[in-house]
Every structure is written in C-alpha cells, then in structure tokens.
C-alpha cells in the first residue's frame, strides 16, 4: 500500500523543515514547497522539493502534479508559508501589503483550491492552516494589523471550508502560534519574549510539529483552531 502524502509549504527551514521531518518520521511521503532550498536538500524516495513562489499558481500546480504523479495522491496540505511584518498601522507601505497578502492569502488560495479538489476526488483529506495568536491576543507593544488581517482570514476560512467539505471527507483545521524559536533567528532575539506566554517560555519547533501531528491523527476534529502559544490566547 502506498504511503499517505503531505504537501508542506514553507518547507525549506524552521517550522516547515521540522514538519517535513515529522511527517516523514510517521511514514508520510512529502512534497516540500519553498522559494528556494539549501544545496544539500535532495529528492528521495519519500520526498520531493518544489522550488518556487507559493503565491504563483504555477508553483501550486507543480506541487500538486508532483504529488499526484510521483505518489499518486494528496492526503494532507499544510499551509505553513507565511510572511510577518510588524509595524504601526499607518507606517505600512503598499509593498508591505502586497508582500503579506501575496504569501499569506494568495498562496493559501491557489494551493488549497487545487489540493481540496484532489482530496474530494479521493473522498478524504486534511488541510492545516498556520496562523498566529496575535489574531486573538493583540498586543500594543507589537502592532501587527496586516499579519492579523491575513492570518485571521485563514482562521475564518478554515472554519468555512471545514463545514463546506465535511460531508466529502475533507477536514480543515488551523494552528495558532505564539512565539516559536527557529534557527533562522539569533537566539538572543528571543530574550524577554518568554514573558509573553503564561507558561514562561517561547515555543519550540517540536511543539508545533506535535500539535499538527495530533490534528492529523484526530479524525473527529475539524473546523478547530488549536492554540500552540503557551496559554497566550487564554490571557495573561
């Protein structure tokens, strides 16, 4: 029997790379999508990399085609790719707006539309959209209206799609993240951010991977937003 297949965007580093390893570790074949990949990343029997702009519909189509042609199916899509630009609302530029909406919304739209069509054809599937707890827990010290606009839209779309496609075997969930430490940033840049979370620490990539793999296994859960934020959204 062929393994289940996951498409993961933003797969070249950080949370995305952690998700690639996590899904491969539980027996999935993976199609990783990112603007570019490190030179040491090679395609393997259970992994394909697709380099391209996730906001480009042709990148989305190549990812779907690769999953179908190489592995025969699409079981899971994780919309992990995202752009964060935080600044006072009146200081955002048109370029900021274009950049954020291109990745966070347009990228989501193209690949999710194609993936859901594949899932419906096979009568099963799961989509996970990665959001931020800033949507639910605004912080005057970290103004971020455009990330909230776009990532909040993903949360709303997750609920809507979950209901639209529940009868056709497709589940849709979201994870809403607090501050998560990744190798892409200087460890010193996280100093003091522990205090933003009631649990008193920042998140690790493994925390996110564990949460998404839980949703993968939780076949009676759809339309849910799972907060992976150390209690941030609950208060503090």
Q: What is the pLDDT of residue 223?
A: 98
Structure confidence by residue, pLDDT tens digits, 140-185: 888 999 999 999 999 999 999 999 999 999 999 999 999 999 987 7
User: Which pLDDT does position 236 carry in this prediction?
Assistant: 66
pLDDT at 188: 83
Q: What is the pLDDT of residues 114-147, one digit of tens each?
A: 999 999 999 999 999 999 998 988 888 889 999 9
| CB-based contacts of 11, cutoff 8 Å, min separation 6 | 17, 19, 20, 30, 32, 33, 34, 37, 49, 80
Whichever domain contains 135, its CATH number is 3.40.50.720
Compute the mean pLDDT over every residue in the chain, rounded to the nearest whole number.
95
* pLDDT reported for residue 64: 98
Q: State how far the Cα of 84 lies from the Cα of 148, in Å rounded to an integer.
A: 9
Q: What is the pLDDT of residues 37-96, one digit of tens each?
A: 988 888 899 999 999 999 999 999 999 999 999 999 999 999 999 999 999 999 999 999
The values of phi and psi at residue 9, to 5°, are -90, 160
Q: Are 78 and 8 in contact (CB under 8 A)?
A: yes
What does the alpha-carbon distance between residue 197 and residue 236 come to, in Å, rounded to a whole number?
7
Structural domain total, the chain: 1
- Give 10-44 pLDDT, tens digit per residue: 999 999 999 999 999 999 999 999 999 988 888 89
Q: How far apart are CA 108 and CA 232, in angstroms?
A: 25
* 184-202: pLDDT as tens digits: 778 888 888 898 899 999 9
Close Cβ partners of 167 (under 8 Å, ≥ 6 residues apart): none
The predicted structure's pLDDT at residue 34: 97
Q: Which residue range(s) make up the domain with 218?
A: 5-234
Nearest-CA neighbor of 127 among 2, 9, 3? 9
What value, to the nearest 5°, has the Cα angle with vertex 26 and ends 21 and 29? 70
pTM of the model as a whole: 0.95
**194-232, pLDDT tens digit by residue?**
988 999 999 999 999 999 999 999 999 999 999 999 999
């Amino acid at each position: 029997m062929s393994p289940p297949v996951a498409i993961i965007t933003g797969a070249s580093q950080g949370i995305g790379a952690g998700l690639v390893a996590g899904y491969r570790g539980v027996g999935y074949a993976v199609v990783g999508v990112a603007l570019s990949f490190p030179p040491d990343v090679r395609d393997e029997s259970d992994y394909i990399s697709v380099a391209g702009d996730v906001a480009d519909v042709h990148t989305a189509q190549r990812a779907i085609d690769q999953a179908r042609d190489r592995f025969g199916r699409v079981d899971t899509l994780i919309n992990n790719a995202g752009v964060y630009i935080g600044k006072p609302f009146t200081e955002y530029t048109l370029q900021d707006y274009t950049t954020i909406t291109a990745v966070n919304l347009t990228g989501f739209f193209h690949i999710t539309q194609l993936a859901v069509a594949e899932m419906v054809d096979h009568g099963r599937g799961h989509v996970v959209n990665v959001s931020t707890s800033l949507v639910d827990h605004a912080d005057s010290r970290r103004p971020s209206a455009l990330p909230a606009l776009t990532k909040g839209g993903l949360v709303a779309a997750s609920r809507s799609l979950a209901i639209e496609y529940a009868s056709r075997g497709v589940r849709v969930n979201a994870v809403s993240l607090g501050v998560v430490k990744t190798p892409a940033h200087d460890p010193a840049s996280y100093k003091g951010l522990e205090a933003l979370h009631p649990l008193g620490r920042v998140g690790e990539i493994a925390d996110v991977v564990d949460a998404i793999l839980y949703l993968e296994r939780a076949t009676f859960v759809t339309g849910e937003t799972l907060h992976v934020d150390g209690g941030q959204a609950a208060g503090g």
